[in-house]
């Protein structure tokens, strides 16, 4: 699914959640939960000029903390290890790919759609990413096929991105399980946008499928105070 189509779906869901919010019941408690997540990334780079690419797979996983202060919304923050990258479709016999490893910190608004025990959810918000290491694989038969950014270090090791995710949550006696499909769109180009690279854009585009297990929960009941 194209990223623009995905954003339209998220926009429609936000409108539906806003309608739900206007009809929601008063809150009875708040919930704080903590856990881990594991999954897989499917990534490529958003190049301009465009380049034909294969999807690159990588691991993603980390820690999750979630605080739901309303019956319909809350905040979910994470610290993740995220493997990204891209692989270019070149002529027969030529090969170029690059793996990128990031520490990723999303801070997301968590919208609840449905009941308490089983419900859908929507996560939307920013993510900060910090590049830590990478691996470049290159096998070119002709030196003339070399792009200006081949063999070059990333010019931007910090990235601000936008995240949007859809998922399902199931509460059980041993903890809560969240299955989520998420898209991250990087707002920073990895390489300089000038004649030294001949690139106008080189941004991360990552689709992730993850399963989170929230094994620690604590309820908070609001206290009503009467003003004298």
List the one residue out of 211, 214, 184 whose CA is nearest residue 39: 211
For 41-69, b/e burial (b = at least 16 CB within 10 A) is: bebbbbbeeebebeebebebbbebebbbe
Question: 150 and 96 in contact (C-beta within 8 Å)?
Answer: yes
What pLDDT, on the 0 to 100 scale, is given for residue 189?
Answer: 95
Question: 107 and 77 in contact (C-beta within 8 Å)?
Answer: yes
pLDDT digits (tens, 9 = 90+) for 64-106: 999 998 778 899 999 999 999 999 988 777 889 999 999 999 9
Token pair belonging to 180: 């989520």
Question: 156 and 204 in contact (C-beta within 8 Å)?
Answer: no
What pLDDT, on the 0 to 100 scale, is given for residue 226?
Answer: 46
What pLDDT, on the 0 to 100 scale, is given for residue 76?
Answer: 97
Domain range annotation of the chain: 3-21+29-220
183 burial type by CB count under 10 A (0-12 exposed, 13-18 middle, 19+ buried):
buried
Q: CATH number for the 3-21+29-220 domain, one of 2.40.160.20, 3.40.50.1370, 3.30.980.10, 1.25.40.10?
A: 2.40.160.20
The rounded Cα 31 to chain-centroid distance in angstroms is: 23
Name the stretches of the chain with pLDDT < 50: 1-3, 18, 20-27, 224-228
The structure's pTM equals 0.82
Determine the Cα–Cα distance for residues 167 and 148; give it in Å rounded to an integer: 40
Dihedral-angle region of residue 93 (phi above 0 means left; psi in -120 to 50 means alpha; beta otherwise): left
Determine the Cα–Cα distance for residues 3 and 196; give it in Å rounded to an integer: 29
For 22-35, b/e burial (b = at least 16 CB within 10 A) is: eeeeeeeebbbbeb
């Amino acid at each position: 699914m194209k990223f623009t189509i995905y954003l339209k779906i998220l926009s429609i869901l936000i409108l539906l959640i806003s309608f739900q919010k206007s009809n929601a019941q008063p809150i009875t408690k708040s919930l704080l939960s903590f856990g881990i997540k594991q999954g897989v990334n499917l990534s490529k780079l958003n190049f301009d000029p465009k380049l034909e690419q294969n999807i690159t797979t990588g691991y993603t996983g980390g820690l999750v903390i979630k605080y739901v202060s309303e019956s319909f919304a809350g905040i979910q923050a994470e610290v993740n290890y995220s493997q990204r990258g891209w692989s270019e479709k070149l002529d027969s016999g030529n090969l170029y790919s690059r793996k990128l490893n990031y520490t990723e910190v999303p801070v997301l608004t968590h919208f609840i759609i449905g009941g308490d025990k089983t419900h859908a959810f929507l996560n939307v918000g920013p993510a900060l990413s910090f590049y830590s290491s990478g691996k470049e694989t290159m096998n070119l038969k002709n030196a003339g096929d070399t792009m200006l950014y081949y063999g070059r270090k990333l010019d931007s090791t910090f990235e601000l991105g936008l995240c949007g995710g859809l998922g399902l949550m199931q509460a059980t006696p041993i903890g809560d399980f969240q299955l989520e499909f998420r898209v991250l769109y990087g707002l920073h180009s990895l390489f300089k946008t000038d004649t030294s690279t001949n690139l106008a854009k080189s941004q991360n585009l990552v689709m992730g499928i993850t399963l989170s297990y929230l094994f620690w929960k604590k309820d908070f009941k609001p206290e009503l105070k009467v003003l004298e």
